């Protein structure tokens, strides 16, 4: 009898371990997906920023600032990424605030595309931040730490995009 109970407990524990591992795996996958999504949108924004720098909207000084910020954002490592992107947001913000009259179809299209992208980036950030915090929370649970259920998956990096995307 005792043996059966012991067997049952072990089986239950094994199930719980496999369940926790699946859960963590799924969360890591969610972080990867949401990051891929955010990264794609940010890359597109950097590309638009460079186009804006080359367009009629920018004066030479802001063109330089913008190009610099855009390249920095593209080349930043994951950990420095949010700071670099905030820099690009700032550079774009200054330009759009000070640009008095935007004429020309290409320029208007660029600005429209940028504002649509900004909306999407806001959503993507919210999705990614949520995935990251949730994953970090679950990784911290004792059972996951003791049995190293996260395996070799890297700890997700918190993204400090302070909601100031323009």
> Which residues sit at the interface with another protein, rule CB under 8 A?
18-19, 22-23, 26-27, 30, 32-34, 36-37, 40, 119-120, 123-124, 126-127, 129-131, 134, 138
Q: Which is nearer to another protein, 40 or 104 (CB)?
A: 40
Give the Cα separation of 68 and 64 in Å (integer).
6
Q: Which is nearer to another protein, 55 or 144 (CB)?
A: 144
Residues 6+ apart with CB under 8 A from 79: 157
Minimum CB distance to another protein, residue 91 (Å): 25
φ/ψ of residue 57, rounded to 5: -65, -40
Q: Which is nearer to another protein, 62 or 128 (CB)?
A: 128
Residues making up the chain, counted from first to last? 166
Q: Which is nearer to another protein, 26 or 54 (CB)?
A: 26
Helix, strand, coil distribution of the chain in percent, nearest 5: 80, 0, 20
Minimum CB distance to another protein, residue 113 (Å): 14
């Amino acid at each position: 009898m005792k043996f059966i109970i012991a067997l049952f407990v072990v089986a239950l524990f094994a199930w719980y371990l496999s369940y926790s591992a699946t859960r963590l795996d799924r969360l890591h996958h969610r972080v990867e997906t949401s990051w891929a999504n955010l990264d794609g949108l940010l890359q597109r924004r950097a590309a638009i920023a460079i186009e804006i720098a080359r367009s009629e909207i920018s004066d030479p000084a802001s063109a330089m600032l913008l190009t610099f910020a855009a390249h920095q954002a593209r080349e930043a490592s994951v950990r420095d990424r949010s700071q670099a992107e905030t820099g690009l947001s700032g550079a774009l913000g200054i330009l759009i605030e000070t640009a008095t009259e935007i004429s020309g179809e290409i320029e208007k299209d660029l600005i429209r595309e940028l504002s649509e992208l900004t909306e999407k980036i806001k959503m993507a950030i919210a999705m990614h931040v949520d995935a990251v915090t949730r994953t970090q929370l679950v990784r911290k649970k004792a059972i996951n730490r003791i049995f190293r259920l996260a395996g070799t998956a890297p700890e997700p990096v918190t993204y400090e995009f302070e909601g100031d995307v323009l």
